[in-house]
Every structure is written in structure tokens, then in C-alpha cells.
Structure 1
Amino acid sequence: MESTNVLEFPDVSKDYISDLKYIPEINTVIVTSWDGSLSMYKIIPSNGSYNITLDKQYNVGFSILSCCYSQDGIYIGGVQGELTFLNFQTETFQLIDDNKATSGIIRITPYYHDFIAGSWDSTLQVIDHIDHSIKSFKAIEDAKILSMDCTNEHLVVSTTGNKIKLYKLPLNSMNNGTLIDSVLKYQTRDIKLIPDGSGYVIGSIDGRVAVEYFDDPSRQFAFRCHRKKLSDVQFVYPVNSLLFKPSSDILFTGGADGCVSCWSLKGRRKLKQYNKIDEKSVVKMAGGDGILFVAASDDSFKTNAIITQDIELQPSSVYLIVLDTN
């Protein structure tokens, strides 16, 4: 296998990276962190490679969990339920009116021209893209939202208790969705809809990925990944991040072992195991045709029995991987 071209981002926040978004139409990657920073990097092709430069950086004044790009700005979700909008024209922050969240905004996703925000307190909110206010909201009872993904037709939400909530959109007060049990035994770290709309994939802390289909449950399957086998023991690493190659069934998985793997859902097989990217955990991925962005952070605090204020973590990193075209 030919060596992969890997480029490291400059001036990355040292704190835990909470979100990573690639906006191909403006050649920009957005990186957010628990230290409250939002960084925008320009990604410019150059002589078969790429130049990566820090374009703009903001500090919102609270720990960030999630972000989502809009043509006129960026929606930002905070650990304490903060929901704000960064206006590109004025470069000011605007609080979202009628925000109902009281704890972490774990994910913000585009939905037609609007956006859906999900939070740890089980709240789902639709944000109006025109006046940046909440136009509708729902609450999932007796569950904490862990991850979610959305297209114009479906919203899929993973929650505590090994549950999955499926909604056919639009999301309104009459839409209660469908609650099902996850096929995975252990807690979900990420969930993604399959690009053709046929189903979704979920990754869990026990190094497994499950593939579920809406209309044909007989097609569902699961596979193991991100494991290290020694002579007398096998180490199992959480699957922290899932990403589909645009408009395809090609799935990337990022694990706490610092590795990225590439899979074909149609062929039900691994296509490639990339060289270990970092000693830290792969926590977020983003990408497009021919390129993959990987954020690595020290998430060892998640397995510590006691978390203290003076815990020292390794500084975070972000990488660009130029994918093989064959």
C-alpha cells in the first residue's frame, strides 16, 4: 500500500476538540473546542497537495460542543445548553430566541433551509434560518441524546438506554417518531444516516458498528473494528466517529486507538486500514471527495474514576489525509 499523504493543521486548540465540519463550497474547515474557540481554516489545493492556513478564530465565551455552517454564519451549541449564531457580516454573536435547552447541545444539523439542534436534556429544536429563532421543539422522554443525524427526510437519534428514535420529517408537535432498541449492547458514540436514505449506522464503545435498514431488517448486520489482539488479550477501543464518503456506501470509522478504517457496506468488507494517525483518540471526522479531515484528542478522562480540575491532557491535533483515488 502506498503511503498516505498526511498534513497537520497549524495553531490547533490544545483543548478537547468537540466538532469538525468541512465546507467545500468555501474551502473551509471549522474546528470547535471545549475551550470556547471556533477556528476557520482555509484549505487550498496546491501542486497536488494542499495549503492549510488559519483564516479566522473566535472565542464565544463558553465551552463548545457542536457547530453547523449556514451561508450567512455559524450556529454554535454549548455545554450548558447555550445556542448562539455567529453572523459573518457583523462578526457578532446572537443568542437564539426561545432556546429551550438546559444542557449540552450535542449536535446541530441542517434540515432544508432550517436546522435541528439536539441536546443532552432530550430536547429537539428546529431553528428558523431567517430570524434565527426556535420555530418548534420536542422532548424525548426519559432519555439523554448522545448523537443524531438528519437528512431532509429522516432524523435518527441515539439515546441512553440503548434506544434509537426515528422520525420521518418534518418534525412537529404531532410527530412522535418511532422508538426502537439498538442492536448494539453497549453505549452509542456516533450515528450516521446512509447517504441513499436506506438506513443508518451506529458505532459503540465496544468496538462495533451496526448497519440498520429502514425497509428491510433482514439486511442488517454488524461488524467488529478498532481492536488490538495480543498473545493473551484483546484490547477493544470505542468507535468515536463515523463518516460516509459523499453519495456512496463507503464508510470511515475513527476509533480511540488513533486509527481510521475504511469499509464497503455493499461488500461488507474492510477496504483499507490507514496507518495509525495519532497516539490520541480519533474523536471527529469530516471530509469530501478525495480528502479526509481527522481530529485527535486525549479522551482518557472518559475512563478515569475521578475527574479533577487539574487533570492534564495531551494537546489536540487535526490532520488532512489525501485519500488514494484508486
Structure 2
Amino acid sequence: MASFGTQQPVAAAGQKKSIGPNDCNVPQAGTDGISSLNWSPTANFLISSNWDSGVRVWEAACNPQNTNQPVQVQPKAQVNHENSMPVLDTCFSADGSTVFSCGADKAVRMWRLGETPPNNIPQQIGAHDKPIQSVGFLSKSNLVVSGGWDAKLKFWDTRSPTPVGEFQLPERVYDLDVQGGLMVVATANRQVIIYDVSGPQPREHSRKESPLKYQSRCVSCFPDQTGFAIGSIEGRVGVQYIQKIPNKDHFAFKCHRQDSNVYSVNCLAFQNVYGTFATVGSDGVVTFWDKDNKQRLKAFPAIGQTIPCAAFNAQGNMFAYASSYNWSKGSQFYSPGSTPNEIYVHYTPEDEIKPKAAKKK
């Protein structure tokens, strides 16, 4: 995939904090690292999870005619996990009414928007034996799925504290993603497990090794459910199809690299309208890609701080991304005074994310 290229734009340290000059700086983004960002499927509500134990919700509004501030964001509410434990992931229910979260307290929790839970702690609906890395919602069966460092995948009916299903995995869960009837789980030791969740009972479809040589960091399903993209700590992304599709093959490409420095791909975010996607990395760079035409659409200047997570809203015209320490290097590299925790929302016009005509060979 040589047409993508590997070099990224560089900005001088301290000069840029956002990828766009008019990006909205989200208020009250938390006091510790930001671990996930997700948008409601039915409205422009943005949720984050943080290492400070918080789950926060904002409402965003987009007005492209206001070129000085096309996006405005207002804080709506916040809840916290117990014992000040880090929250590692969140997701919405299919109707956007409920937020699910998981984290180092080994609990899967549920929070109905508009309600204030007792002691401001969301209701626990499930548990693992070790911290829970990822949570997702299965719209076809109305089940919540959680993947933990106990190498287990559990499925929850919110009306019962006992899992309705459980799969033993080959290793710890590093990430999972659900899109319609497709779920993909990336574990330690470069294992990838694909599930069919289109019916009332999830079932395993297939297993494979990651096409990338080093540790998996993130995984994201295509909006059309025909495949998935996986990112790793080596600054590389693999694009994989579930079934053979004419004129489309698996491939991998390099990204988030500067000279001899290689940075982790921390998150992959697909845009629902066009099926294009963004990668964000520990180099502080956001890049938009077109997998079908194997093109880089837009590379933004580096912001000088790790970008741990990002997400497009359902309409595809707003892109949220976080800027914070992600704890990948441990506590010895964390400096509270010099490591801000910020979230920005970038208005995304079509010319940034819409596929361009394929280049003639």
C-alpha cells in the first residue's frame, strides 16, 4: 500500500493542541487519562471514560456556517465507578438511552441517561475476575458483551446479574468491537476471534492470527460488516475481510512513524457514511484513510501529545479525539502538571473524509 506513505506532518512542540484551528475544546474533560470516546447512535451525545473513575456525557451541536466555531459542546452529566478505579471503556445501547461502562473495578455498569444513580455510582450488571478492558452492545439480541483480562468474554441481560453466556478465550482481551451482526475480539498473543452476533445466541465464526507482527492495540469493524481493521504497537494497520470479496484483498500498511521512530496505533474510528476511517497514535497524529482506494485522505499536523482514542458521530460530520497520557509507559513517565487531559471535537467536511477518485495506474 505504498500510495499511503508513512511520513506524518510534524508540528513544533507546544505550538498545536488541536488538529484544527477551530476545533471545540470540550469542557470538564477529567483529571486523568482518557481511555475511550463514543457517540450515541441516535443523537449527538458524546461519552468518555477516564482513569480518574469518571464517565462523562456532553451534548454537541454542529453549525458549519459558523466558521469560527462550527461545533459547540455542553457538559450534561457525570457518574463514577467505585473506589476511584479507572474506567477503561464505554458504549451506548442501540436506542441511545443507556450507557454501559467497564474498568479496573472488574464490574460492568449501566447508567440510564437522565437519571442520577444512588451515590452517583452506575448500577452493576456484571463482573469478571480481573479488570475489564472492553464493553459492547449487541443490537440484534439486546445483550451487553464484556471482555476482560481474565481471558473471558461474557454476555449480559441487564435484568440478571448472571451472564447468559460465556466464552473462554485464548488470552486477555485487548479490544473488541461490534457492528450489527459482526463482533471482532483482539487478544494478547496476536489472536483474533470473529463472532456472528446476528441471532439471539452469539457464536464463534472463526479464529486467526493477527496479520501484524506485534501486539494488537485496537480493532474496529467496517460499517458494512464485511471485515475489520486492526492496529498494533508497531505503527501498522491490517485490513481484513470476513469472506472473499471480488477485487478486494487483505492488506496492511505502515503509519504513525517519523524517521526511525515507530508509534502505537491507539484507535481506529470508521465514518459510517463513507466507510472511510481515522487512525490516531502515540505520535499525536490524526490521519484519515480510504481503505477501498488505498489512499490517505488527510494527514493533520501532530499536536505534540499522545492521542489515545477517537470517534466519529453517527452523521459523520463530527470527529472527537482525546489528548492525554495513556499509561502505556507506566507511572514513571506520568507528569500531572505537564500532561493535560483534553477532548476536542473537529467539524469534518466532506472533502476531508469522502473517498476521492482512484488514482490511475
Deviations 1:178-219 (A, max 9, x none): 221111000111001111121111000010000011112870
1:272 to 276, 298, 312: 298
CA contact (8 A) 2:152 2:169 kept: no
Q: Distance in 2 between the 1:261 and 1:75 partners?
A: 28
* Residue in 2 that maps onto 1:119: 148
Higher relative contact order (CA 8 A, sep 6+): 2
- Percent identity of equivalent pairs: 23
Selected match of 1:291 from 318, 325, 335 = 318
Residue identity opposite 2:253 in structure 1: F
Distance 1:294 1:3, change over 3 A: closer
Indicate which of 38, 44, 53 corresponds to 2:61. 44
Report if aligned partners of 2:231, 2:237 keep a CA contact under 8 Å in 1: yes
Partner of 1:33: 50
For 1:197 and 1:10, how far apart are their aligned partners in 2? 34
Partner of 1:325: 350
Corresponding residue to 1:143 among 160, 171, 184 = 171
- The answer for the alignment partner of 2:78 in structure 1 is 57
The letter for the 2-side match of 1:123 is K
Maintained 8 Å contact 1:188/1:204: yes
Residues 183 and 59 (structure 1 numbering): CA distance in 2 closer, same or farther, change over 3 Å? same
| Pair 137,293 (structure 1): closer, same or farther in 2 beyond 3 Å | same
Which amino acid in the other structure matches residue 275 of structure 2? Answer: D
Inter-partner Cα distance in structure 2 for 1:255 and 1:311: 17
Aligned to 1:240: 266
| Partner residue of 2:243 out of 211, 215, 229 | 215
Uncovered stretches (5+) of structure 1, i.e. residues with no partner: none
- Structure having the larger proportion of residues in strand: 1
CA distance in structure 1 between the partners assigned to 2:202 and 2:299 by the alignment = 45
Give, in whole Å, the separation in 2 of the partners of 1:8 and 1:50: 9
Task: Give the counterpart of 1:108 among 135, 142, 163.
Answer: 135
* Alignment TM-score, normalising by the size of structure 1: 0.88
Change in 2 beyond 3 A, CA 1:323/1:280 = same
Tell me the residue number matched to 1:94: 123
Structure 1 residue 72, shift from structure 2 partner: 3.8
Alpha carbons of 1:54 and 1:115: their partners in 2 closer, same or farther (altered >3 Å)? same
- 1:206 aligned to 229, 234, 238, which one? 234
How far apart are 1:19 and its partner, in Å?
Answer: 1.5
CA distance in 2: counterparts of 1:89 and 1:128, whole angstroms: 21
Matched residue, 2:278: 252
| Structure 1 residue 121: Cα displacement | 1.2
The corresponding residue for 1:19 is: 36
Helix, strand or coil at the partner of 1:282: coil
User: TM-score, normalised to structure 2's length?
Assistant: 0.80
Q: Does the CA contact (< 8 Å) of 2:46 and 2:59 recur in 1?
A: yes
CA deviations over 1:224-252 (Å, ceiling 9, x no partner) = 101112xxxx1111100001111433110
CA distance in 2, matches of 1:182, 1:253: 18
- Alpha-carbon distance in 1 for matches of 2:111, 2:80: 11
The amino acid across from 2:52 in the alignment is D
User: In structure 2, which of residues 171, 174, 181 is the aligned counterpart of residue 153 of structure 1?
Assistant: 181
* Cα distance change, pair 84–100 in 1 and its aligned pair in 2 (3 A): closer
Does the 8 Å CA contact 1:125/1:134 hold for their aligned counterparts? Answer: no
Amino acid at match of 1:224: K
Give the gaps of 5 or more residues in structure 2. Answer: 1-18, 352-361
- Distance in 2 (CA, whole Å) between partners of 1:290 and 1:266 is 20
Corresponding position of 1:128: 157
